[in-house]
Amino acid sequence: MRKSIKISRDGRQELRDKFQVSDQMIWYALNFVKNGPASVRIRREALRIGGIYTEEDFVPTCRFELQPDGFRQTFADDVILQVDTKKSVAKILHHGEEIVNVDEITLDSWSSLAMQAQQLSIDGSVLWRA
């Protein structure tokens, strides 16, 4: 079961401004990846300003292709999550433009990137950029 707090772009911006943290930190907090004191405060504030707590099973809707150096997940709206397992790096592309680039990818960060890629393919929202 995956927990998260859904909030508007304006709400995420308000959280970034109030807590002076990166887009990535907001995403980690709202998706319960990080659980330190700052993440708890961010989640509490997100709920206070209208965020909605959800629990759901996450199964990405994409085409999965194994490649010699890793794998590629292709989502709707020309969103691609490319993972190079030999170099431990990943990136999300949208219409060929690199949106997110992550070094030293882990299983947790891959799952988070897959969720972000799916969200981008659904509504065009980007949680953090490269």
The reply to whether 34 and 6 lie within a common domain is yes
Q: Reply yes or no on whether the pLDDT at 3 is more than 70.
A: yes
Domain assignment present for residue 129? The answer is no
The answer to whether 129 and 99 have CB atoms below 8 angstroms apart is yes
The reply to whether 40 and 89 lie within a common domain is no
Q: Reply yes or no on whether the pLDDT at 84 is more than 90.
A: yes
Q: What is the pTM for the complete model shown? A: 0.58
The reply to whether 67 and 119 lie within a common domain is yes
> pLDDT tens across 11-64, in order?
999 999 999 999 889 989 998 888 899 999 999 999 999 999 988 776 778 999
Domain assignment present for residue 43? The answer is yes
Domain count of the fold of the chain:
2
Q: CA-CA distances (angstroms) from residue 9 to 14, 26, 47, 71, 129?
A: 9, 11, 14, 30, 14
Average pLDDT, the chain: 89
Domain assignment present for residue 128? The answer is no
> pLDDT tens across 6-21, in order?
999 899 999 999 999 9
